[in-house]
Amino acid sequence: MLSASQLEQLAELGEERSAAVGDVLFQVGDRRYPFVAIVEGEVSILDAAGNEIVRHGASGFLGELNLLSGQTVFLTAVVTQPLRYIAVDRDSLRPLLFEDGPLSDLLLSTFIARREALQQVQGVGLEVIGPHSSAPTARMIDFARRNLLPFTWRDPTRADDPAAAALVAGLDAARLPLVRLPGGVELRGPSTGQVSRALGIGRELAPREEVDLVVIGGGPAGLGAAVYGASEGLATLVVEGTGLGGQAGSSRRIENYLGFPAGITGSELTSRAVSQARKFGARTATPYRAVSLEPEGDRYLVRLEENHEVAARTVLLATGAEYRRLPVDGLSDFEGISVFYAAGPPEAQLCGASRVGVVGGGNSAGQAAVWLARGGALVTLLHRRADLRETMSDYLVREVERYGVSVRDQSEIAALHGEAGRLDAVTLKTGERLPFSFLFCFLGALPCTEWLGDAVARDEKGFILTGSRANADALLETTLPGVFAAGDARSGSTKRCATAVGEGAMTVQFVHGRLAEAPAARAAPAG
């Protein structure tokens, strides 16, 4: 709820308006809507089919994350009692959020909580229609999850959804998935970039961009560098292949990040970081995947998918890592349907009251197990070592016990059983069969550095060498002068949010040093 003084403050910035019962303030598919603070009256929020989701009354406010990101509207707002309200344009609201801590806290946390709730409501947001065996469909689902987009996935090969089969009948594989956007627009076989831009997310890059610092990867390391780089006057561009926030964005609750004694969800921490980076003028571009890096005169050229390129005086490689897959036959048949690599609100809703296996002994496995157990699932945690304490933080081991998660030491999965992607059971290497309907895997990480080829030296596992191991002067410099690496992608890094942020921030100091050594004409800050 907004306080009386916050309403006064908003009134100074916006416009006081009134609306009659039945008036529509915004509707599914709209590109823009103002922030609405209710002075008097009531508004009902409906999904695309007209089902009511919630009502807001006096001192309440309308809006969710798309108000800040500029995404297409997923819901409709209809006046149910004569309304007096303050409408504040999105562009006027933004500066206020940067200046007013308490208001920013209230709005950001509410918008994120609302988005999480929407992710659990069927029929809101995108509809993705494509078989689970189709790689582009799986990519689209991953993109939606990572960007916290509410979506419904309909598999046309499933007997219980003949309507989905009819919708894609006659479409060849290149035209899958069929993606239906809020408001009715249909895209056949779109790239994630096309969907992103159709939804109004992210920024359209020019075919060639020139910057002081290009950051590849928008996880904690990349965002840390963006905040410090932009706040210190560098023309900074963050290029992210999927969704800003990285692995941290998928963490249910980060308990060990400095300054948040009660813990903070990964999506809240990273949404705040994105706002902060933008406040200082860093540009973020999604989804643009970097595909190569090469020297070009006194700069480096980073080529991106879909024929874009960035010429940068310095580069930060912050592409992080991705979870390993379980080495069992037929895994891909189950992935995305009953085997997952992250446990978010949609998965928690899916798994309530089901038997769930969580595989892994690290903190991410512990967090997922606790989150799913709190959602009502019957969770068993399987890990390889003799004692969970060898690999998991003590506080999480205690949480695992507290929420009734059953722990099986020295347990490894040998086979999955089920049909049409639906898991029934797993067999352990000991031959024991355990009935699970869902499995969540957290098996350690592989670096996202394949795209670099031989451009910079990497260790035997593919992590990027820096500092003395790369014969470089600066601690985080790679074998290419002016190209730095930070966070999980860096060989020897600690694989924690705080260290990734710290390394990203530290890189900026090295970038200044490099730019002072090679004072080429400064890139004009673009966009």
Ligand X SMILES: Cc1cc2nc3c(=O)[nH]c(=O)nc-3n(C[C@H](O)[C@H](O)[C@H](O)COP(=O)(O)OP(=O)(O)OC[C@H]3O[C@@H](n4cnc5c(N)ncnc54)[C@H](O)[C@@H]3O)c2cc1C
Q: How far apart are the first and last CA of the chain?
A: 36
Among 319, 380, 411, 437, binds ligand X (CB under 6 A): 319
Q: State the nearest-atom distance from the C-beta of 166 to ligand X, in Å.
A: 35
Paired tokens of 322: 């991705």
Q: Quote the CA–CA distance of 101 and 99 in Å, as a whole number.
A: 6
Instruction: In whole angstroms, give the CA distance from residue 376 to residue 389.
Output: 25
Provide the token pair at 76: 């409709």
150 in contact with ligand X (CB under 6 A): no
In terms of CB distance, is 66 or 247 closer to ligand X? 247
- Strand, helix or coil at 313? strand
The single residue among 381, 416, 488, 506 that binds ligand X, judged by CB under 6 A, is 488
Residue in 256, 292, 410, 471 binding ligand X, rule: CB under 6 A:
256
Residues 92-111 that bind ligand X (CB under 6 A): none
Side chain identity at 404, as an amino acid letter? G
The residue range among 91-99, 148-156, 233-241, 468-476 that interacts with ligand X, by the rule CB under 6 A, is 233-241
Q: How many residues bind ligand X, per CB under 6 A?
A: 39
Measuring CA to CA, which residue among 429, 430, 434, 458 is closest to residue 446?
458
250 touches ligand X by CB under 6 A: yes
| Smallest distance from ligand X to CB 232, Å | 19
CB nearer to ligand X: pick between 114 and 289: 289
CB 260, min distance to ligand X, A: 11
247 interacts with ligand X by CB under 6 A: yes
Strand 378-382 and strand 406-408: pairing?
Answer: parallel
Q: Would you say the C-alpha torsion 346, 351, 353, 356 has a positive or negative sign?
A: negative
Residue 251 or residue 314: which is nearer to ligand X going by CB? 251
Considering the complex, what minimum distance in angstroms separates the CB of residue 418 from ligand X? 24
User: Among residues 63, 131, 487, 502, which is the contact residue for ligand X, using CB under 6 A?
Assistant: 487
Task: Say if residues 62 and 35 touch (Cβ distance below 8 Å).
Answer: yes
Q: What distance in Å separates the CA atoms of residue 403 and residue 135, rounded to the nearest whole number? A: 36
Given a contact cutoff of 8 angstroms between Cβ atoms, the answer to whether 215 and 222 are in contact is yes
The distance of closest approach from Cβ of residue 360 to ligand X in the complex, given in angstroms and rounded to an integer, is: 10
Which of 130, 156, 320, 344 lies at the binding interface for ligand X (CB under 6 A)? 320
- Nearest approach in angstroms of CB 256 to ligand X is 5
Contact pick of 190, 218, 344, 357 for ligand X (by CB under 6 A): 218
Give dist(CA 508, CA 369) in Å, integer: 37
Binder to ligand X among 66, 137, 251, 271 (CB under 6 A)? 251
| CB neighbours of residue 492 within 10 Å | 11
Part in contact with ligand X (CB under 6 A); list of ranges 87-95, 175-183, 239-247, 350-358: 239-247
Instruction: Find all residues with CB under 8 Å of 468, minimum gap 6, and list them.
Output: none
Burial class of residue 146, CB neighbours in 10 A (0-12, 13-18, 19+): buried
**Quick one: how many helices (H) and strands (E) in the chain?**
14, 27
Alpha-helical (H) ranges within 212-343 are 220-231, 266-279, 331-334
Is residue 500 a contact residue for ligand X (CB under 6 A)? Answer: yes
Q: Does 367 bind ligand X (CB under 6 A)?
A: yes
Segment lying near ligand X (by CB under 6 A), choices 4-12, 93-101, 241-249, 398-406: 241-249
Q: Which amino acid is at 76?
A: T
Shorter beta-carbon distance to ligand X: residue 63 or 193: 193
Confirm or reject binding of residue 239 to ligand X (CB under 6 A): yes
CA distance 444 to 313: 33
Q: Which residues bind ligand X (CB under 6 A)?
A: 216-222, 239-242, 246-248, 250-251, 254-256, 289-290, 318-321, 342, 363-364, 367, 448, 451, 487-489, 495-498, 500
